[in-house]
């Protein structure tokens, strides 16, 4: 018997083959289009002016390539002082906690990120700046928060406490990326518990030299916050008198307050948890000049890791 059935591939015909080709081509175009969209979106975040935040200083008035010239170069202290602090805290790092140098490195990262942000006003620059500040808080919080305030479930274990702080910082990093417009105000609120903790520790301090440094630190922090608020909320008033540069003063004052607070909390940490190390507050370049650079040295050397994160 004659078999008139033809192979399935021939029955399909040219039209069906063409439909398959069109579907495959459509998928490829859709995939390439989505990839192109993602690349374009990423590029937009790198473009100058892509940040929703714009400070009071006029843009591109001094240099055609730097958006906020004064705000950019006011970060210079973040580059100059941390290497000096690393040298001054070499004994602290050796005999108490080498992680102290992480804070000085992170402060330099803050300076670089802030300079990049103010030079470009890009969204990626804003996020780098704010996330660097967040991680400075995390590092200092993990290292210096007094054990007597630990919740009971940490069982007085600083390493466990530090791990929890890192997890919290990672979650906060994700939230900061999702809601960049609110980051600046959220970060400002982190300064409040640090400020009140400093005041609380100063009340317990019996060293007049440390107490005086703490009062100066608190005063400079309040001055820095005043500059930030005025630049952010009262820009028109300051622009009317041709002085839209309060955010640059914020950079200078907040760096001084931040590194001074780290010096003080480094002193308090040793005094509370390793008093046998005998911490001593000194100033560079002259110890009898209290407006110099403060640092903590160790009078009695005992190698210990009980305070390390």
CA pair distance 136, 142, nearest whole angstrom: 10
Q: Tell me the average pLDDT across 93-117.
A: 95
pLDDT number for residue 44: 63
What the block records as the tokens of 208 is: 């007049």
User: Which 8-state DSSP code applies to residue 58?
Assistant: P
Q: Tell me the average pLDDT across 50-65.
A: 91
pTM greater than 0.75 (yes/no): yes
- Cα-to-chain-centroid distance, residue 87: 22
CA pair distance 82, 102, nearest whole angstrom: 10
Q: Is 179 annotated as a binding residue?
A: no
Q: How many CB atoms lie within 10 A of CB 136?
A: 21
Q: Is 118 annotated as a binding residue?
A: yes
Q: Is 57 annotated as a binding residue?
A: yes
| R_g of the chain, CA atoms, integer Å | 28
pLDDT digits (tens, 9 = 90+) for 64-81: 999 999 999 999 999 999
Instruction: Answer yes or no: is pLDDT of 246 > 70.
Output: yes
Specify which residues 279 forms β-bridges with: 298
- pLDDT-based confidence at residue 36 (cuts at 50, 70, 90): very low
Q: Is 156 annotated as a binding residue?
A: no
pLDDT digits (tens, 9 = 90+) for 223-244: 999 999 999 999 999 999 999 9
Q: Is 183 annotated as a binding residue?
A: no
CA distances to 140, 200, 218, 267 from 205, in Å:
20, 9, 15, 10
Q: Is 247 annotated as a binding residue?
A: yes
- pLDDT-based confidence at residue 201 (cuts at 50, 70, 90): very high
207, burial (CB in 10 Å: exposed 0-12, middle 13-18, buried 19+): middle
What the block records as the tokens of 259 is: 């590194």
Q: How do the domains of the chain map onto residue ranges? A: 47-298
CA pair distance 184, 63, nearest whole angstrom: 26
């Amino acid at each position: 018997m004659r078999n008139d059935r033809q192979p399935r591939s021939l029955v399909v015909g040219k039209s069906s083959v063409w439909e398959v080709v069109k579907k495959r081509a459509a998928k490829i175009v859709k995939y390439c289009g989505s990839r192109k969209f993602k690349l374009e979106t990423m590029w937009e975040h790198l473009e100058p002016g892509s940040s929703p935040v714009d400070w009071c200083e006029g843009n591109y008035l001094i240099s055609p390539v730097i958006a906020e010239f004064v705000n950019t170069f006011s970060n210079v202290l973040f580059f100059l002082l941390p290497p000096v602090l690393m040298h001054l805290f070499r004994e602290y790092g050796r005999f108490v906690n080498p992680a102290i140098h992480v804070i000085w490195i992170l402060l330099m990262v803050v300076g670089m990120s802030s300079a990049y942000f103010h030079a470009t006003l890009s969204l990626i620059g804003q996020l780098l700046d704010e996330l660097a500040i967040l991680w400075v808080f995390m590092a200092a919080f993990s290292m210096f928060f007094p054990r007597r305030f630990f919740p009971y479930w940490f069982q007085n274990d600083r390493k466990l406490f530090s791990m929890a702080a890192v997890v919290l910082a990672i979650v906060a990093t994700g939230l900061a990326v999702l809601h960049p417009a609110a980051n600046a105000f959220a970060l400002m609120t982190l300064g409040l518990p640090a400020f009140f903790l400093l005041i609380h520790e100063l009340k317990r301090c019996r060293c007049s030299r440390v107490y005086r440094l703490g009062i100066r630190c608190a005063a400079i922090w309040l001055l820095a916050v005043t500059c930030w608020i005025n630049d952010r909320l009262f820009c028109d008033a300051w622009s009317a008198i041709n002085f839209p540069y309060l955010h640059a003063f914020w950079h200078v004052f907040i760096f001084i307050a931040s590194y001074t607070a780290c010096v003080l909390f480094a002193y308090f940490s040793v005094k509370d948890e390793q008093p046998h190390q005998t911490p001593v507050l000194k100033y560079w370049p002259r110890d009898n000049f209290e407006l110099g650079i403060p640092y903590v040295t160790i009078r009695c050397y005992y190698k210990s890791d009980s305070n390390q994160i």
